[in-house]
Amino acid sequence: MTTATAVAPFTKEDFAKRMERAARQAEDAGLTGVLITPGPDLVYQTEYQPTAITERLTMLVIQPGRDPAMIVPILERPDAVAATGVAAVRLSDWTDGTDPYEAAAPLLDPNGTYAISDSAWAMHVLGLQQQLPGTSYVSMTQRLPMFRAIKGEDELERLTAAGAAADAALEDIVHVRFAGRKETEVAADLAGLLRKYGHSQVDFTVVGSGPNGANPHHEAGDRTIEQGDMVVLDFGGLKDGYGSDTTRTVHVGEPTEEEARVFEIVRQAQQAGFEAVRPGIACQEVDRAARKVIGDAGYGECFIHRVGHGIGVTTHEPPYMVEGEEHPIEPGMCFSIEPGIYLPDRFGVRIEDIVVATEDGGRRLNNTSHEMRIVA
């Protein structure tokens, strides 16, 4: 059993450094600045997460050469002040019955081009455009896809702990009874184990048994798991604010020769993807390395998704390990490597680890066995 250890909280200085880095990223991209609205970007930059994300405008403005500034509804100001990172910004507010876009206008360059959080409400973007017709806006992912991609040592500590907690949950779940129980029951066990090992939030517990395993995003359902089923277990969530995500495929009883062969192809593909990781190569090369193994084995049409996604304050974020993503891998990037083979109406196999790019390769944050586990 892993024991939860306390992690040091992020400091005002930590958040100030993140904002400085964001300003540099905006400048390097030829932008006037970045506008950050409630959601993962705001949590990352300030620790602040409004109790309820509503129609009221909340926005952090980061621009090169200017102090960070944030505007919030006056009724939410006390909560914002309590967030560690907000101490590093110039805070203003607006009151119900007044125009929030008029109040926000002095914070922006009237002719600026800004990257704005993907989670921004359309009504806020349109309101800013109407108030400042000389401004223009682009999505954060489109212009600054690596905004949160490079993790610091303090973030890697949290991601490592989250991965270890997910591993501990797996080591427990393989000892529970599968045959004769519903997928939802095993999923509930998984959720409980993630919480047992320190997760404050469980984002997903995929339990895909038999033919359901051929659907990569199958939600655990009422199907009763049977002897002879392959079962895909994909689960994760947030621990100390950072994500876990791992997949292992187990078998109820002994597998058939075909099942064992497909499993081994996926295992080799996952290893090939991991071995491809090194600084300077394009993200798509990780996808290509894993996909080649599956394609060469004759199952290319049965691998129907990208090989990986980034992870951090959310369980899915850039960078994406997918064909067409030419951004080079950099040390500190964290992402999944999760190839799979899906045979419709029969079974599926997926193996997933979170990997952090290092100076000379990659390091797994999930370290449970890749061999097929037999469950009862």
pLDDT tens for each residue of 260-305: 999 999 999 999 999 999 999 999 999 999 999 999 999 999 999 9
Residue 4, pLDDT > 80, answer: no
- Mean pLDDT, rounded, for 242-254: 98
Identify which of 36, 6, 7, 10 has the alpha carbon closest to the alpha carbon of residue 23. 36
pLDDT at 230: 98
3-state percent helix, strand, coil for the chain, nearest multiple of 5: 35, 25, 40
Torsion over CA of 99, 103, 106 and 108, rounded to 10 degrees? Answer: -70
Residues 6+ apart with CB under 8 A from 99: 131
- Mean pLDDT, rounded, for 210-231: 96
- Mean pLDDT, rounded, for 31-42: 96
Helix or strand or coil: residue 139? Answer: strand
Q: Give percent of the chain above pLDDT 70.
A: 99
Residue 17, pLDDT > 70, answer: yes
Span of 139-148, 182-191, 205-214 with lowest mean pLDDT: 139-148
Q: What is the per-residue pLDDT across 140-183, written as a single tens digit (0 to 9) for each?
A: 999 999 999 999 999 999 999 999 999 999 999 999 999 999 99
Residue type, 280: G
Place of tokens 């290092």: 358
Residue 1, pLDDT > 50, answer: no
List of domains in the chain = 12-143 (3.40.350.10), 153-375 (3.90.230.10)
DSSP class of residue 34 equals: E
Spatial separation of the C-alpha atoms in residues 363 and 252, rounded to whole Å = 30
pLDDT at 6: 73
Q: What is the per-residue pLDDT across 316-367, written as a single tens digit (0 to 9) for each?
A: 999 999 999 999 999 999 999 999 999 999 999 999 999 999 999 999 999 9
pLDDT confidence tier of residue 233, bands split at 50, 70 and 90: very high
Residue 53, pLDDT > 80, answer: no
Place of tokens 């404050």: 200
Q: Give percent of the chain above pLDDT 90.
A: 96
Spatial separation of the C-alpha atoms in residues 60 and 76, rounded to whole Å = 14
pLDDT confidence tier of residue 5, bands split at 50, 70 and 90: low
- Mean pLDDT, rounded, for 234-252: 98
Distance of CA 299 to the CA centre of its chain: 27
Mean residue pLDDT across the chain: 96
Distance of CA 130 to the CA centre of its chain: 33
pLDDT at 227: 97
Q: Are strands 340-343 and 353-357 parallel, antiparallel or unpaired?
A: unpaired
- Mean pLDDT, rounded, for 198-213: 97
Q: What is the per-residue pLDDT across 102-148, written as a single tens digit (0 to 9) for each?
A: 999 999 999 999 999 999 999 999 999 999 999 999 999 999 999 99
